[in-house]
Copies of this chain bind each other. A is one copy, B any other.
């Protein structure tokens, strides 16, 4: 990289007034076959006592994603989870203290990996089923969460995100459960079977699990196939409505 010339000082961005920047994370997981989200209870003004998405200020030497991973690990202790940038919220007035811009990530934690870390800094950390949230969340976190759910829902239809929520070994009908949960829609067993088998995305573990009825075969997600990128879209004719929703969320405030 070139060195700054003498006249470089006439355009110094550090002179500008600056907002604070935080990275927040919407962390989803599956518990008792229901979608849950992780919230922390605030111990200080503003919104003292309210539940909020985990997050914090970024360090100057880490990337946005690193920052999100750090938050994620501080709260859940898990690593190697699916993480993607969701949206950046930055309306003036979101935070009564000052102008704060939040880059929000969303994460999917596998059902068998979730651990909660209670530390001194975050004494109250809890998983909430997304259909039974606290009445009111801190800041604009309700809108953020709504948007995250709608994004998750629409991405389910053309990605393999659902696997990120399952334990390493699972049955096909458990997978179907996730789809039904998140899409809030009943799916046909037979068609689901066929469709997912056809993709070749599953690897038979040879194991079975006994239960009340016929034992079920257990599968593993064949992460990334060398040949074709697996596409498992449950329904072809759905639209991604999540974009509009994010913009609405921002402009509603």
Contacts and interface: CB of A to CB of B under 8 A. Distances in A.
Interface string A210-243: 0000000000000000000101010011011101
A8 interface: yes
Contacts of A185: none
* Interface residues of chain A: helix, strand, loop or mixed (majority): loop
A64 interface: yes
A8 B44 CA distance: 7
A103 B91 contact: no
Interface size range of chain A in the complex: 35 or more
Nearest to A89: B64
Contact of A88 (B4, B62, B85, B241): B85
Nearest to A91: B63
A99 B60 contact: yes
A237 B236 CA distance: 7
A46 B229 CA distance: 40
Given A85-B88, A158-B240, A243-B84, A100 B57 contact: no
Interface of A: 1-2, 4-5, 7-8, 10-14, 16-21, 44-46, 57-58, 60-65, 84-85, 87-92, 95-101, 103, 158-159, 229, 231, 233, 236-237, 239-241, 243, 246-247, 250-251
List 4 tightest A-B contacts by C-beta distance, closest first.
Answer: A236-B236, A64-B90, A88-B88, A18-B18
10 contacts: A4-B45, A5-B45, A18-B18, A63-B90, A85-B246, A101-B103, A158-B239, A159-B240, A233-B237, A236-B237
